[in-house]
């Protein structure tokens, strides 16, 4: 009977073990990350050893900002993936990951040292009190010779000095330990913020007929990460090509460190719907205003409390809705550019570590040297500066994205601009800042500026002298732009009196001159126009 009971228990235990799914925690390091403009795709890989039957594999310590719909799991081996699930584990937060545990351990060790030093100071304080108390007794109740008193005072002073010095050293140690604790706490706060984030978790249920080994790969998209472009545009002089340094500024606050990962920067926008928009019929009819509703017990022009609250909600929604010539310039990190049908990605060959603190890390992803046609432009009416521009042809092949650009001319930073690539032209015009070697001046010619009245009309004449001097050592091409007012009334007559050969657009009033100016040469052009209008009217021309 006893043997029968034991056998039954064994059979039941084996049956329960077979029917229950075994759970296994796995660790899969991040191998590579594809960063999009406002999110990122993370890819993990790991090796697994599976027993026969069903097994639930849990990959934890992940970001809590995972898009559950983007999770992909692939298996490699003689087993079958039955299901994949995702959750945020609020019982295990991201501060339980090894890196943070290590910092916490350091903090606890330092706190123990602080306690030890404070205990030692307490003992020293007791010793100091003992010395003081005994000194008073000895001095009061004992008769000493001068020599004996000297010895007693030396003994007292020596012991008291040791105690005071020891207390001072221990207080300094405590301050040092507390400073280290503060820095470590800042390190945790900087990495993960003050809030304790939950831990993302992916569970994969697999089945195998026998014990096997294999591999799993995980892929998913997280928010709170992204990249944006910036540029350094360098021109040594206007006889040489323009060099464009294309940089990726990457950041992430996903709660998880990307340690020694391969980075790829993609200009894809996976969050934008890939469906082609459909045009539906657009029906029109005469507008008939709806009759104003009459509410019982409410005067016209008033609204109910619910209506007013709804209006407030709607309103709230709207309102809230370079230097050592003997060395070659350092090369950028190795990079491979992949051009697809609709996207471009830059794959960085060197692993990077990106901390989850939201700080921007800048990585150069492309450097191109392109011939450019350089030209100066000045608008003396608005600015006394001459601005250099470079016209780059074939710019579309460089796969640029609009972004802020830092401008360098002749190894000097000259300012910032915006590289606008959203234009339907074969030539990209890049502003390279102003050049102080070109002087521009616009002044009124007082002798040729007048105001006359003849009959019922008044005529005002304005004349300006525009001077451009080239202090550079080479010839320049410069376009000077100015304007003449445009009449929007038949009673106002505007006439261009003298333009020094400039091109005049009567529709816009713009006047342009294309000048070639030799080194150390000064050129002058004259702009004169007149405006005739009824003398009883007023026109503001200055």
DSSP string, 367-396: EEEE-EEEEEEE-TTT-S-EEEEEEEESGG
> Structure tokens of 485?
């007012």
Per the domain annotation, does 42 fall within a domain?
no
Radius of gyration of the chain (CA): 40
pLDDT at 273: 54
CB 506, CB 481: distance < 8 Å: no
**Which residues are within 8 A (CB) of 526 and not within 5 positions of it... i.e. 6 or more apart?**
445, 463, 464, 465, 466, 498, 499, 500
How many domains does the chain contain in total? 3
Let me know if residue 278 belongs to a domain. no
Q: Are 442 and 415 found together in one domain?
A: no
Same domain, 503 and 424: no
Burial readout 80-116 (b: 16 or more C-beta within 10 A, e: otherwise) = eeeebebebbeeebbbebebbeebeeebeebeebbee
Q: Are 503 and 470 in contact (CB under 8 A)?
A: no
Residue found by looking up tokens 């950028």 in the block: 332
208 or 418, greater pLDDT: 208
Give the torsion sign (CA, 353, 358, 361, 362): positive
Confirm whether 415 is domain-assigned: yes
| Domain endpoint, select from 435, 454, 475 | 435
Q: Is the pLDDT of residue 334 over 80?
A: no
| 491 has a pLDDT exceeding 50 | yes
Are residues 351 and 233 located together in one domain of the fold? yes
Helix or strand holding residue 365 (H, E): strand 361-370
- Per-residue pLDDT band for 326 (boundaries 50, 70, 90) equals low
Q: Which residue has the tokens 């235990």?
A: 13
SS (HEC) of 133-191: HHHHHHHHHCCCCHHHHHHHHHHHHHHHHHHHHHHHHHHHHHHHHHHHHHHHHHHHHHH
Residues 528 and 459: their CA atoms lie apart, in Å, by: 13
Residue 484 CA to residue 508 CA, distance in Å, equals 8
Rounded to 5°, the CA angle 180-184-186 comes to 115
- Mean pLDDT, the chain, as a whole number? 81
Q: Could you tell me whether strands 403-409 and 225-235 are parallel, antiparallel, or unpaired per DSSP bridges?
A: parallel
Coil, strand or helix at 42? strand
Residue 301: per-residue pLDDT = 40
Q: Which residue has the tokens 């109910």?
A: 304
**488 shares its domain with 354:** no
Closest by CA to 227, choosing from 504, 94, 37, 62, is: 37
User: Taking 90 as the threshold, does the pLDDT of residue 296 lie above it?
Assistant: no
Q: Which two tokens stand for residue 94?
A: 């991201």
> For residue 177, what are the domain limits?
98-192
What is the pLDDT, as a whole number, of residue 345?
83
* Predicted confidence (pLDDT) per residue in 425-473, tens digit: 677 777 788 888 999 999 999 999 999 988 899 999 999 999 999 998 8
Q: What is the DSSP letter of 71?
A: E
- Report the C-alpha gap between 315 and 455 in whole angstroms: 58
Full-model pTM: 0.62
For the ranges 152-161, 406-415, 456-465, the maximum mean pLDDT occurs at 456-465
**pLDDT higher than threshold 60 for residue 314:** no
- Statement to judge: residues 263 and 353 lie in one domain: yes
Query: Is 481 in the same domain as 378?
Result: no
Asked if residue 109 and residue 235 are part of one domain, the reply reads no
CATH code of the domain in which 501 resides: 2.60.40.3680
pLDDT at 313: 42
User: Residues 6 or more apart from 112 whose CB is under 8 A from it?
Assistant: none
In the structure, what pLDDT confidence band is assigned to residue 306 with cuts at 50, 70 and 90? very low
pLDDT tens, residue by residue, 168-208: 888 999 999 888 988 888 777 665 554 567 889 999 999 99
Confirm whether 170 is domain-assigned. Answer: yes
Q: Is residue 296 part of a domain?
A: no
Q: Reply yes or no on whether the pLDDT at 285 is more than 70.
A: no
Q: Which tops the pLDDT comparison, 317 or 363?
A: 363
183 and 109 housed in the same domain? yes
| Whole-angstrom distance, CA of residue 40 vs CA of residue 65 | 11
Q: Would you state the pLDDT for residue 145?
A: 61
- Determine the pLDDT at residue 304: 41
Residues 378, 265 share a domain: yes
Half-sphere exposure at residue 529, Cβ-oriented, CA atoms within 13 angstroms: 20
pLDDT at 293: 56
Question: What pLDDT is recorded for position 522?
Answer: 96
| Same domain membership, residue 511 and residue 444 | yes
pLDDT band of residue 373 (cuts 50, 70, 90) is confident
203 inside domain? no
Sign of the CA dihedral running 326, 332, 333, 335: negative
Q: What pLDDT was estimated at residue 35? A: 95
- Domain C-terminal end among 171, 192, 213: 192
Q: Cβ distance 224 to 71 under 8 Å? A: no
Poorest-pLDDT segment among 198-202, 218-222, 416-420:
416-420
User: With helix as H, strand as E and coil as C, how does 80-117 read?
Assistant: EEEEEEEEEEEEEEHHHCHHHHHHHHHHHHHHHHHHHH
DSSP per position, 424-454: S-SEEEEEEEEETTEEEEEEE-GGG-EEEEE
> What single DSSP character describes residue 398?
G
Q: Does one domain contain both 484 and 507? A: yes
Question: DSSP of 495-530, one letter per residue?
Answer: EEEE-TT-EE-TTT-EEEEEEEE-TT-EEEEEEEEE
Mean pLDDT of all residues in 365-373? 87
Task: Answer whether residue 505 shows pLDDT above 90.
Answer: yes
- Provide, rounded to the nearest whole percent, the portion of the chain with pLDDT above 70: 75
User: Taking a C-beta distance cutoff of 8 angstroms, is the pair 347, 407 a contact?
Assistant: no
Last residue of a domain, one of 143, 173, 192: 192
% the chain with pLDDT above 90: 41
Residue at 102 is within a domain: yes
* Residue 419 near residue 491 (C-beta atoms within 8 A): no
Look-up: residue for tokens 């070697």?
A: 437
pLDDT tens-digit profile of 28-84? 999 999 999 999 999 999 999 999 999 999 998 899 999 999 999 999 999 999 999
Work out the pLDDT band at 15, boundaries 50, 70, 90.
Answer: very low
Is 499 contained in some domain?
Answer: yes
Residues 171 and 112 in one domain: yes
């Amino acid at each position: 009977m006893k043997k029968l009971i034991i056998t039954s228990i064994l059979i039941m235990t084996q049956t329960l073990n077979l029917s229950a799914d075994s759970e296994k925690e796995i660790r899969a390091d991040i191998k590579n990350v594809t960063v999009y403009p406002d999110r990122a795709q993370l890819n993990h890989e790991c090796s697994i050893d599976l027993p026969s039957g069903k097994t639930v594999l849990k990959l934890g310590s992940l970001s809590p900002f995972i898009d559950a719909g983007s999770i992909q799991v692939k298996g490699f081996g003689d087993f079958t993936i039955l299901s994949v699930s995702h959750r945020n584990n609020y019982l295990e937060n991201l501060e339980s990951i090894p890196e943070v545990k290590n910092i916490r351990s350091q903090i606890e060790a330092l706190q123990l040292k602080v306690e030890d030093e404070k205990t030692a100071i307490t003992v020293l304080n007791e010793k100091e009190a003992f010395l003081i108390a005994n000194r008073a007794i000895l001095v009061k109740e004992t008769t000493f010779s001068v020599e004996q008193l000297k010895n007693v005072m030396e003994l007292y002073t020596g012991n008291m000095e040791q105690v005071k010095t020891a207390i001072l050293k221990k207080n300094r140690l405590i301050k040092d330990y507390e400073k280290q604790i503060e820095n470590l706490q800042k390190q945790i706060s900087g990495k993960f913020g003050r809030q304790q984030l939950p831990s993302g978790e992916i569970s994969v249920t697999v089945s195998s007929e026998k014990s096997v080994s294999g591999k799993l790969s995980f892929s998913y998209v997280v928010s709170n990460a992204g990249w944006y472009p910036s540029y350094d545009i360098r021109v040594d002089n206007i006889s040489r090509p323009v060099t464009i340094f294309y940089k990726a500024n990457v950041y992430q606050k996903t709660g998880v460190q990307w340690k020694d990962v391969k980075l790829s920067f993609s200009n894809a926008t996976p969050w934008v719907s890939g469906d082609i928009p459909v045009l539906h019929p657009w029906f029109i009819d005469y507008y008939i205003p709806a009759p104003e509703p009459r509410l019982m017990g409410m005067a016209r022009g008033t609204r109910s409390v619910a209506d007013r609250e709804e209006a407030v909600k709607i309103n709230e929604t709207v309102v809230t809705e370079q230097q050592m010539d003997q060395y070659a310039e350092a090369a950028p990190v190795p990079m491979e550019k992949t051009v697809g049908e609709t996207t471009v990605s830059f794959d960085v060959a060197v692993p990077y570590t990106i901390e989850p603190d939201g700080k921007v890390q800048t990585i150069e992803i492309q450097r191109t040297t392109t011939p450019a046609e350089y030209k100066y432009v000045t608008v003396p009416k608005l600015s006394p500066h001459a601005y250099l521009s470079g016209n780059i042809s074939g710019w579309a092949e460089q796969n640029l994205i609009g972004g802020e650009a830092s401008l360098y001319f002749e190894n000097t930073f000259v300012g910032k601009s915006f590289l606008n690539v959203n234009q339907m032209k074969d030539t990209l015009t890049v502003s390279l800042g102003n050049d102080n070697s070109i002087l521009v001046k616009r002044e009124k010619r007082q002798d040729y500026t007048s105001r006359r009245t003849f009959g019922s009309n008044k005529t005002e004449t304005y004349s300006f002298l525009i001077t451009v001097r080239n202090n550079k050592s080479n010839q320049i091409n410069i376009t000077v732009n100015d304007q003449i007012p445009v009449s929007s009334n038949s009673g106002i007559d505007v006439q261009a009196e003298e333009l020094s050969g400039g091109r005049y657009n009567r529709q816009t009033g713009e006047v342009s001159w294309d000048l070639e100016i030799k080194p150390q040469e000064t050129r002058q052009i004259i702009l004169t126009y007149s405006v005739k209008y009824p003398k009883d009217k007023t026109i503001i021309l200055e």
